[in-house]
Chain A
Amino acid sequence: MRSGELARSQESRETVGDYSVPDARMRCRDVEVWYGDKRAIHGVSLDLGRNEVLSMIGPSGCGKSTFLRCLNRMNDTIDGCRVSGSIQLDGEEIYDRALDPVPLRARVGMVFQKPNPFPKSIYENVAYGPRIHGLTNNKTELDALVETSLRKAGLWDEVKDRLDAPGTGLSGGQQQRLCIARTIAVSPEVILMDEPCSALDPIATAIIEELIDELRANYSIAIVTHSMQQAARVSQRTAYFHLGDLIEVGETNQIFTNPQHRLTEDYITGRFG
């Protein structure tokens, strides 16, 4: 073990910075996640404010994706995964026994790392969510909703003439924007993004980043990213995770220019990670 690592390993894992925000959309306190006997997240407390983009960064395996997937209970689908602590959406406990994860996922949408449109038409991809939730009364309303969603995702002009074409036939960046359109079609309050640009080229990435900035006006967005530049570009607040601990959280500017914790500083300056 190099001396730096030794020093790091002995440093405090208490979260540096203020993890709470006033009037938070989502409020997480002492969240612990276990995969079988392995503890993946060690007591993380973090708030997601309204109309803000919160980015989560950290080396691979630090638990940022796991934490993100707790926020809409996608971890439920993993065998042997247990979550403890408190996660509230607008003051409502989402891990409450009585709460149904199905409507929760309509309120907390998710965009995945690899674009995963349904193998159906572009129209069907966007219309699927509203249809199963019964959000529209007739075809005209549904058509309008599909158009608005595609417009918000910045995809409308590119696909308006071929809504019946299969969604899987689009380019990677377009597919990811289609997935974003699909997510916002059910009008969620929060959008979770799990490395949404990691499979995309720089131009497609730039378009998505711009889109995220626009979406902030209406949604709260939590984004996991491997790219620190991306975190710096799109987010207002940044949380740095390390081996299942939330090490530091704060204004994005402050995290990138003046990190308080040594681990954060080492990661940001590229000394490890």
Chain B
Amino acid sequence: MTDQTPASAPNQRTIDAVNTSLKRRRAKERRFRRLGAAAVALGLLFVALLFTDIIAKGHTAFQQTYIKLPVALERAQIDPEGSGSAEVIARANYLGIIRAALREHFPEVTARRDKRALYQMVSVGAPQLLRDRVLADPALIGTTAEVWLLADDDIDMVVKGYIDRDLPESERRVKDRTLGWIERLEAEGRIAKRFNTIFFTNGTSREPELAGIAGALAGSFYTLALTLLLSFPIGVGAAIYLEEFAPKNRWTDVIEVNINNLAAVPSIVFGLLGLAVFIGIFGVPRSTPLVAALVLTLMTLPTIIISSRAALKSVPPSIREAALGVGASPLQTQFHHVLPLALPGMLTGAIIGMAQALGETAPLLMIGMIAFIVDVPAGFTDPATVLPVQIFLWADSPERGFVERTSAAIMVLLAFLILMNLAAVLLRRRFERRW
């Protein structure tokens, strides 16, 4: 303090040095921010690409082509005795009725081969749909009703423009004469695209126009529900024990390392394990949501345990001390105070795990979820498939009609994922408490 000059000179030098380095530091900061923004933009771009591609390909699957024909529902053919019993009505020959309606509408078609082509314009599922229609409304019997008949997938593809009408006939799946009939029906206003309810109510099928995701959705629902039911309590329990009660020694270290490793094990390994243990040793029925849930539980447990432990660690120790200090037992401390505070984090982890499980395909292939199952499962032990496996199966099918259905199924899967993540955010908001 006694002499000022030497003290202020270094001071000035310091400020100059700071100023020169400041420029560099600011530039670095700007660069980092720009890089970050670019990374986010790139990510968003790819997401946008993915979505536009899938939506562009898949949105047409939500509509389905129908052909409107006057169908003569003669009493003599459907219910000759006029009993009105559902059993009799169900047994009638609707295929014949539809074919008759087609012949009626196209009287010029007489050759056998032409007739066969004509009959193929209508889906093989159309007779059953007609039967259901008549069963639901028996008053139709004895009348000639204008009925929307489900068109075959080839017709659907032509109407949606996926089969190019200008190609030479030899390169086209739909022949000229069929094309002529389609154009005539279109001119008469007898072809229309209507909302595709079948896609949401049916199980899968060999025929694209009859294939739906109801089976896969139900399978995914049962599988995920059971997975959550099994993995959340086990995972949270394990996390609480390891974090709060287990002694910290070599054993718990080994366990911790193993849990972290398990989180990174390829999922197909869990599928093989499930095949060997659950199906091979315990005889759990294959292809069922039950065995799928067991395998996915194994797979999601590490994720849930790790995130739950992180959530428990983030609860301030002062809360534990406060509870212990008034004489709460360790278990009361956990369940009354620590767990409620850690729950949002745990739920987030669980939902991330569930989202992973929802999208998982490989291990399920190992335990028979790849089977072709038409029926919509009604329980945990019914044979089932799940959404990602259904997507895999459809993507593998040669029919053009399955391409749009694959994309549509992906859209449904993505919608589910978005819903789950939204639920995660909402739950976290709901349970989050400040301290």
Residues of A within 8 A of B (CB): 72, 74, 77, 79, 102-106, 109-112, 114, 116-119, 128-129, 132-133, 166, 168, 179, 182-183, 185-186
Distance in Å from the Cβ of A102 to the closest Cβ of chain B?
Answer: 5
Q: Are B326 and A117 in contact (CB under 8 A)?
A: no
A116-B322 contact given A79-B247, A168-B435, CB 8 Å threshold: yes
**A79 vs B246: C-alpha distance when bound (angstroms):** 11
User: What chain B residues lie within 8 Å of A168 (beta carbons)?
Assistant: 434-435
The interface size of chain B toward A, counting residues with CB under 8 Å, comes to 22
Query: B433: CB under 8 A from chain A?
Result: yes
Are A116 and B319 within 8 A (Cβ)? yes
Complex formed: what's the CA distance from A72 to B322 in Å?
Answer: 13
Residues of A within 8 A of B337 (CB): 118
**Residues of B234-259 contacting chain A, CB below 8 A:** 247-248
Q: Are B327 and A102 in contact (CB under 8 A)?
A: yes
Nearest chain A CB to B246's CB is how many angstroms away?
A: 11
Is B336 an interface residue, CB under 8 A from the partner?
yes
Given contacts A79-B247, A79-B248, A118-B337, contact A132 B327 (CB under 8 A): yes
B323 — which chain A residues lie within 8 A by C-beta?
Answer: 118, 128
A76–chain B nearest beta-carbon distance, Å: 9
A45 to B349 alpha-carbon distance, docked (Å): 50
Interfacial chain B residues near A166, Cβ < 8 Å: 434
Q: How far is the CB of A7 from chain B (nearest CB, A)?
A: 34
B324 at the interface (CB under 8 A from A): yes
Query: Residues on B close to A: CB < 8 A?
Result: 247-248, 316, 318-329, 332, 336-337, 341, 433-435
Evaluate contact between B318 and A186: CB separation under 8 angstroms.
no
Q: Once the chains are docked, how many angstroms separate the CA of A149 from the CA of B328?
A: 18
Assuming the A-B contacts A112-B322, A118-B322, are A106 and B248 also in contact, with contact meaning beta carbons closer than 8 angstroms in the complex? no
The answer to whether A105 and B322 have CB atoms under 8 Å apart is no
User: Can you list 21 A-B contacts (CB < 8 A)?
Assistant: A74-B321, A74-B324, A77-B321, A77-B324, A102-B327, A103-B327, A104-B327, A105-B324, A109-B325, A116-B316, A116-B318, A116-B322, A118-B319, A119-B433, A119-B435, A128-B326, A129-B327, A132-B326, A168-B434, A183-B325, A186-B327
Interface of B is mostly: helix
User: Do A112 and B325 contact each other (CB < 8 Å), given the known contacts A119-B341, A119-B434, A119-B435?
Assistant: yes
Nearest A residue (CB) for B326? A129
| A72 to B327 CA separation, bound complex (whole angstroms) | 10
Q: Report the nearest A residue to B321, measured CB to CB.
A: A112
Shortest Cβ distance from A171 into chain B, in angstroms?
A: 15
Query: Closest approach, in angstroms, between the C-beta of A224 and any C-beta of chain B?
Result: 14
List B contacts of A117 (CB < 8 A): 322
Nearest CB of B to A35, in Å? 14
Shortest distance between the CB of B321 and any CB in chain A (Å) = 6
Q: Of all chain B residues, which has the CB nearest A114?
A: B318
Across the interface, name the chain A residue whose C-beta is closest to B332. Answer: A132
**Bound CA–CA A36/B247 (angstroms):** 14
The 4 tightest CB contacts between A and B, nearest first, are A106-B327, A116-B318, A129-B326, A110-B325
CA distance in complex: A200, B103 (Å):
95
Closest to B322 in A: A116
Contact A183 B326 (CB under 8 A): yes
Q: Which residue of B lies closest to A76 (CB)?
A: B324
A103 and B328 alpha carbons, distance in the complex (Å): 9
